[in-house]
Structure 1
Amino acid sequence: MEAQVKASLSMSKKEYIAHEPVVATVTLTNNAGRDLLIHTDSRTTLNWLDFEIKNSRGTALSPLAAMNFGAVTIPAGRSITKSVDLTGTFRVTEPGRFRCKAVVRLPGGGGQFVTNTAYFNVTRGRRVYSQRVGDPASGNVREYRLSIHNTSRKASLYLHLIDIRTGRTMQAFRMGDVITSKTPKATVDRGNNLHVLFLTAPNIYAHGTVTPAGKHLGTKYYNPAPGRKPALATFTNGEVVISGGISYDPREAAQSRARLRKLSERPRMTYR
């Protein structure tokens, strides 16, 4: 049966910041010549899909919670994919290098097989900002943390939101590419929302806003105004705005470049 069902494992990326989703994707290809129904065998307590993860010391990680997957049907000659966030099930939130394999079990005594091994790293990044605030909705104290994560190709700015009472990381997500020659700036407004301003590309600044509940309210982009640079400005009423910037729409700019490129590719007219 193993030759009739091909399985492979891939990670969403090779480098993760601590507490962000670590997503593994299993691809199953049916070469059996008939439709296959894969499900957890009722005679056992084992899932049809499991993961084996080891840290850099070779220690196997025990699941923190049970994983339950519903039955899947793979049409003959077709492939399906199953993506799983490993962060909530395994302790892959601490810095280190990990290796992961998926185990697929076939029902009715069809046996089991193991996928290829996928490797990934988890790092904390370099913290550049932290601020504790109260959450008006819950009354709890939160801490915003900004960190920069460098890879061989680019640097990214990440936000972590920590519940101070429990120490739990409530949110961890990537805010965008960042040029590290200019340190990101951050402040909170009267509602304790975090405002972050960072240089995301040459002459393009990004302004992201996050609530104390961990909701990302979106990102706006700015070019420098003549003779000025975008900056966070706080009014006396606690409102935070961008000064020294001209609104910039990356999507509209890309469409304009595409239109110009199409025009430049037209054949030149010859006059006689």
Structure 2
Amino acid sequence: MSFASPASLPKLVSAALILVLCLAFAPSAHAQLEIKIKTKQREYVQFEDIPVMITLTNRSGRDLTLGGPGGADWLDFRVFRGQRAVRRSNLNNIFEPTMIRNGQTMKFTVDIANYFTMTDFGFYTFQAAVWFSPARKYITSNRTSGNVVSARVLWDQTYGVTRDRPKTDTDLSEFESLHDDGGSRLMTLRTHKFMKFTGRNKSYLYYRLDDPSTLACLTCYRLAELIDIRKPMFAIDNDNHAHVLWMTRPQMYAKVEIDTRGNVLPDSVKYFKEKGPSIPRLQAVPQGGVAVVGGVEFDPDAAKEQKEATRRLSELPPGLEELIDMRRQLEAAE
């Protein structure tokens, strides 16, 4: 074994110091590709979407083509429930190769519940990972978290509906097999379900559509904030559409109609408020429909515009308000 001579030690120390400094100040892959993720909420009701907002900035000094190694996805996630890693349930390639220009920032949202099974109650942490081809490695983002929780069922209703026949009979539920007439459409069951989740400071109304034959949840989402001064009202019409009327603010209510596929009908979203002793409520009407009676309907957008107009008037210079009122009076007299 040979050792460096005392005369060569200063040169070796100098070379080592230069190497350390070069490594310390060399631009890292993390600095060249910046990845940030965040969520809008901290708690998610079981089966609810878990959207993660991703911000990706290219600081490499050149255009980059985002594509994974060997045809794999260039964007992936690392999900943990407690200390245990959660396996990806959707193994298909989702994110196609794309280009990000030098200095460009991309912002997009991904529902990670589509790729990982996150239906067990508990505390989850997740982190995004992007393949950085110049360094031939995945670069990870910051960590964020979410808690999957339960919600209390306020009302549910099971009803019959038809669906397209699946490719194989093994996909039929027991109920569908018993009611199978051999046609292209099958009679099956669905359950409308409304739930209440109470967070730290607010309560929210949730909707969920279930297949009671297979115990599968088909969709679950938050409707809006729920005020419990008055209990929400529920009904189902002759088309098996679910109707709900609930208080969103003191003396103010929202009403929606949800079809048999779990979709809110856009034209059905309406708002009402109390008028004296008259309180909005759901009521069955002829031909099997459901309507709101009592209270008075109002347009929150129009109310907002009026409020903003009033605010703008209050900001006018002294004396100008009187001139505007005078002009209105003269125009009315004409």
Of 143, 149, 157, the residue aligned with 2:205 is 157
Structure-2 residue corresponding to 1:86: 112
Question: C-alpha separation between the residues in 1 aligned to 2:38 and 2:234?
Answer: 35
SS at match of 1:259: helix
Which residue identity is paired with 1:238? G
Secondary structure at the aligned position of 2:34 is classed as strand
Structure with greater helix percent: 2
TM alignment of 1:151-230, pairs within 5 A = 151-218=199-266, 219-230=269-280
2:189 equivalent among 125, 141, 147: 141
Q: Over alpha carbons, which structure has the higher Rg?
A: 2
The corresponding residue for 1:242 is: 292
Residue 208 of structure 1 aligns to a residue in which SS? strand
Contact kept, 8 Å, 1:65 with 1:88, in 2: the verdict is yes
1:132 is aligned, of 124, 140, 158, to 158
Q: 2:316 aligns with which of 252, 266, 272?
A: 266
Output one character per residue of 1:23-73: Cα deviation in whole Å (capped at 9) or x when no partner.
1222221111111111123xx3532211111113x1111111124211122
Out of 20, 38, 41, the position equivalent to 1:10 is 38
In 1, Cα distance between equivalents of 2:239 and 2:152? 27
In the TM superposition, what is the alpha-carbon distance from 1:136 to its structure 2 partner? 5.3
Flag structure 1 segments of 5+ consecutive residues without an equivalent. none
Residue identity matched to 2:53:
T
* TM-aligned CA deviation for residue 144 of structure 1: 1.1
In 2, Cα distance between equivalents of 1:75 and 1:136: 49
**TM-score, with length taken from structure 1:** 0.92
Find runs of 4+ consecutive structure 1 residues off by over 3 angstroms: none
Partner SS state of residue 311, structure 2: helix
Contact 2:33/2:56 (CA < 8 Å) preserved in 1? yes
1:232 to 272, 282, 289: 282
Who is 1:73 aligned against?
99
Higher relative contact order (CA 8 A, sep 6+): 1
Corresponding position: 1:59 with 2:109: no
Structure 2-normalised TM-score? 0.76
State the AA in 2 paired with 1:202: P
Q: Report the CA distance shift for 1:76/1:230 in structure 2 as closer, same or farther (over 3 A).
A: same
State the alpha-carbon separation in 1 of the partners of residues 286 and 106 from structure 2: 56
For each residue in 1:60-113, what CA deviation from the matched residue of structure 2 results, as whole angstroms up to 9, or x when unmatched? Answer: 111111242111222111211242111121111232110001121122653222
Alignment of 1:3-42 (within 5 A): 3-41=31-69
Question: Is the aligned partner of 1:121 residue 2:139?
Answer: no
Residue 15 of structure 1 aligns to which amino acid in structure 2? E
How far off is 1:181 after superposition?
A: 2.8
Q: Which amino acid aligns with 2:46?
A: A
Shift of 1:236: 4.5
Q: 1:135 aligns to what SS in structure 2?
A: strand
- Greater mean deviation of Cα atoms: 102-111 or 235-244: 102-111
Shift of 1:193: 0.6
Aligned partners of 1:9 and 1:101 also within 8 Å = yes
